[in-house]
A and B are shown apart, each in its own frame.
Chain A
């Protein structure tokens, strides 16, 4: 009964107006048990029947809510960041005292990588690479530094460099279990889906952690197995015992995204909001929350979130999104200034990190950046770098938008041929398939 009631609540959340949703979210956030209690009360007075009737047609077989702070407390953001900064100062001091301190370079590499992800700052990831390289120059056989750099290069989409480090780590005895996650994602990005999928499933089954289960969830999401994805996300959350706020915030972003791509915006907002609550300046979380809110029509709230991000970091996507929203609000001067800022930022990032940025930048140039030709060039390069179904689909959409239907259909055929879930691809973009006649 509780499950049915929660189901009805989720349906309500999904179709509601924003104010209703906020009220319910406040209640939900206090605790899952409380939400069930509220629903029981609603049931008693007959409300659930009414609501259920009004929103019929949607089906979500599982209750899916983020863990509340009472369910799973995490260290406050202020303490977390202060401790992180203290570790930075200490490691930098060690290197200042002894530039050949390989351990300090290793620590600093890890810290930069962590903060780079927190801030979505590729310059910091590049700093992480530099310190891992310094570590390896001093200790060429250090497998931890090799693995660190392999992950960092993967983040920057320098797949060949990442694979080279990975292979070297393996040759030095790094176990298969340790390298499996990076190897699976290198395979995925090379369009070698079968070994990637097998490795992801194997890792989750034999070594169930937050990371392997979340990766499984994303795989199921990509394959269109949404219920399985949802279950895997829930299991991943249950696997988190740490009070470190970043893993749970990251997971909530992933879960929010799972709903966002399915246009279940209220669900997405629930998870994104919880991520922001745990780590208010986690750029990824706030940016996604802003995006979902904007799509819900909550433009002012979205603008506030984006403004907070860009006041702290020149995050290109946020600059571009804010420019779009300013235009929507009738503020063309502010919009133009930000658009120019975003263009400069993309140019800079493309110069430093072409592999990582070409797909991101293409999205900008196809939209407010108003340079579809450049977007096409970037997406073509992206397909070469990452011969995946997803890359080809992105290119197909861009080609179609530019009037190149023949090219678009060729890209679509390519995507369809290699996709690990072709039926899902067809379901997601029926209009494109119809236009291409297959």
Chain B
């Protein structure tokens, strides 16, 4: 008798597929990752080390609103992938050519080791093709470790460095008018971070070359499943979210499909659905200031092809700093000048303002969300992200 009861309670109500309240960068950027936050890549940053310009830093943030303590899953592999890229077109044909050669930095983690209240987690991080190093979660490695391997890694809880008025952009897209509130949706929230800092001369085929970088989380086990990817910020939440304006598909949330694509691979089975969503939503964003700065041709938005190539581009021959994010792409789309910076993505870059200014106003006027910094701005000292709030 009891079991009749059990069935009605348990199976009926266990479905947890509810939308989380805030969505930013790639925070909470699809039904699957929303239901399993530790598998959600929230951000990717790529910048030369402020302490040592001959080194490159890769930062992957995971687990939005991670809480006062958080640990990495022992069932996942966290990876950065880098490939040499080159500019293959400008203006309306703006694009990049991606080489096959790949450099991979990855980490896996153990189960917790518990000794009373003390919890410890270890990680094994690999650099392909160079080697492997062990890390202890939340422990900052020293320069001495670096001198041995040419790489240092931090993995652990930090204060989320991203900042955005998430509610503002959602309301803006919904109403068709810019409606920012100036409130940072991520204020005071923590995340898990994996930070690789490495000697470019040692690990990259060309230490002054141009590279595309993506972050990935995939399952371990016999058949790894890609659970989340990240190329550029705000692709899923600001651009792809919301099916209202998509003429060919108003039913499916394409973000899960997008998150499970190989961003360096050939277009997947859902490429056309994703392309259609880009066309519709880039156009919607463009219209938010009352002007159309990016006219469509046959329902195709001029920035769609560029966005279908989703990776963070960094040119190691040029300087990277505040405001340089997406500068390479902006330059090749506008087509009247060479890019001046190395692009990449520095921790304190105001991504939202840069993105809105370009997508909504084609750079002709500054459009911002009045949220101009994180809870605490990042520092110039490894591991660069601020300590978490407890």
Are A181's CB and B8's CB within 8 A?
Answer: no
Are A79's CB and B4's CB within 8 A?
Answer: no
Are A90's CB and B221's CB within 8 A?
Answer: no
Interface locus among B65-73, B125-133, B144-152, B301-309: B65-73
Known: A79-B71, A93-B68, A144-B21. A253 touches B221 (CB 8 A): no
Kindly state whether residue B19 has any CB partner on chain A within 8 Å: yes
Name the residue among B21, B63, B222 with the largest chain A CB count within 10 angstroms: B21
CA distance A113 to B17 in the complex (A): 12
Residues of the A chain whose Cβ atoms lie less than 8 Å from the Cβ of B36: 242-244
CA distance A386 to B1 in the complex (A): 14
Q: Closest CB-CB distance, B390 to chain A, in whole Å?
A: 9
Are A241's CB and B69's CB within 8 A?
Answer: no
Are B190's CB and A90's CB within 8 A?
Answer: yes
CA distance A359 to B32 in the complex (A): 35
Are B13's CB and A83's CB within 8 A?
Answer: no
CA distance A360 to B22 in the complex (A): 39
Kindly state whether residue A272 has any CB partner on chain B within 8 Å: no
Residues of the A chain whose Cβ atoms lie less than 8 Å from the Cβ of B6: 257, 284
CA distance A221 to B74 in the complex (A): 35
Interface locus among B86-94, B111-119, B195-203: B111-119
Interface residues in A271-324 (C-beta closer than 8 Å to B): 284, 317
Are B10's CB and A254's CB within 8 A?
Answer: yes
Kindly state whether residue B337 has any CB partner on chain A within 8 Å: no
Interface residues in A224-272 (C-beta closer than 8 Å to B): 241-244, 247, 250, 253-254, 257, 260-261
Interface residues in A337-372 (C-beta closer than 8 Å to B): 356, 359-360, 362-363, 366
Are A83's CB and B21's CB within 8 A?
Answer: no
Are A79's CB and B69's CB within 8 A?
Answer: no
Are A76's CB and B18's CB within 8 A?
Answer: no
Contact with B along A137-157 (1 / 0, CB 8 A): 000000010011001101101
Contact with B along A393-413 (1 / 0, CB 8 A): 010011000000000000000
Q: Name the contact of A83 in the complex, choosing from B17, B71, B75, B225 (C-beta under 8 A).
A: B71
Contact with B along A183-198 (1 / 0, CB 8 A): 0010011000000000
Q: Name the contact of A243 in the complex, choosing from B20, B121, B188, B219 (C-beta under 8 A).
A: B219
Residues of the B chain whose Cβ atoms lie less than 8 Å from the Cβ of A261: 3
Are B12's CB and A79's CB within 8 A?
Answer: no
CA distance A117 to B10 in the complex (A): 8
Across the interface, name the chain B residue whose C-beta is closest to A135: B21
Kindly state whether residue B269 has any CB partner on chain A within 8 Å: no
Residues of the B chain whose Cβ atoms lie less than 8 Å from the Cβ of A222: 7
Kindly state whether residue B76 has any CB partner on chain A within 8 Å: yes
Name the residue among B15, B65, B67, B73 with the largest chain A CB count within 10 angstroms: B67
Interface residues in B8-47 (C-beta closer than 8 Å to A): 8-22, 32, 35-36, 38-39
Residues of the B chain whose Cβ atoms lie less than 8 Å from the Cβ of A201: none
Are A79's CB and B15's CB within 8 A?
Answer: no
Known: A82-B71, A144-B19. A242 touches B13 (CB 8 A): no
CA distance A75 to B10 in the complex (A): 22
Are A73's CB and B219's CB within 8 A?
Answer: yes
Residues of the B chain whose Cβ atoms lie less than 8 Å from the Cβ of A317: 2
CA distance A2 to B4 in the complex (A): 35
CA distance A284 to B5 in the complex (A): 13
Across the interface, name the chain B residue whose C-beta is closest to A243: B75
Across the interface, name the chain B residue whose C-beta is closest to A186: B12
Q: Name the contact of A155 in the complex, choosing from B9, B17, B38, B220 (C-beta under 8 A).
A: B9
Q: Name the contact of B3 in the complex, choosing from A76, A87, A88, A260 (C-beta under 8 A).
A: A260
Kindly state whether residue A131 has any CB partner on chain B within 8 Å: no
Contact with A along B72-85 (1 / 0, CB 8 A): 11111000000000
Known: A75-B74, A242-B35. A83 touches B15 (CB 8 A): no
Kindly state whether residue A5 has any CB partner on chain B within 8 Å: no
Q: Closest CB-CB distance, B387 to chain A, in whole Å?
A: 15
Are A83's CB and B65's CB within 8 A?
Answer: no
Are A90's CB and B68's CB within 8 A?
Answer: yes
Kindly state whether residue A22 has any CB partner on chain B within 8 Å: no
CA distance A386 to B12 in the complex (A): 15
Kindly state whether residue A218 has any CB partner on chain B within 8 Å: yes
Are A79's CB and B5's CB within 8 A?
Answer: no
Kindly state whether residue B153 has any CB partner on chain A within 8 Å: no
Q: Closest CB-CB distance, B244 to chain A, in whole Å?
A: 12
Across the interface, name the chain A residue whose C-beta is closest to B15: A211
Across the interface, name the chain A residue whose C-beta is closest to B111: A76
Kindly state whether residue B227 has any CB partner on chain A within 8 Å: yes
Q: Closest CB-CB distance, B202 to chain A, in whole Å?
A: 33
Are B14's CB and A250's CB within 8 A?
Answer: yes
Known: A103-B22, A241-B227, A363-B1. A79 touches B112 (CB 8 A): yes
Residues of the B chain whose Cβ atoms lie less than 8 Å from the Cβ of A171: none
Q: Closest CB-CB distance, A94 to chain B, in whole Å?
A: 7
Residues of A near any B CB (own CB < 8 A): 69-76, 78-79, 82-83, 85-91, 93-94, 103, 106-107, 110, 113-114, 117, 144, 147-148, 151-152, 154-155, 157, 181-182, 185, 188-189, 209, 211, 214-215, 218, 222, 241-244, 247, 250, 253-254, 257, 260-261, 284, 317, 356, 359-360, 362-363, 366, 386, 390-391, 394, 397-398
| Given A79-B71, A363-B2, 14 extra CB contacts under 8 A | A79-B112, A82-B112, A144-B19, A147-B18, A155-B12, A215-B11, A241-B225, A241-B227, A243-B73, A243-B227, A244-B39, A260-B3, A359-B1, A391-B4
Give 10 pairs: A residue, B residue, CB < 8 Å, sorted on A: A78-B114, A86-B66, A90-B189, A215-B12, A218-B7, A222-B7, A242-B39, A356-B9, A390-B4, A398-B1
Give 5 closest A-B pairs by Cβ, nearest first: A86-B67, A86-B69, A90-B67, A73-B75, A243-B75
Residues of B near any A CB (own CB < 8 A): 1-22, 32, 35-36, 38-39, 63, 65-76, 111-112, 114, 119, 121, 188-190, 219-222, 225, 227
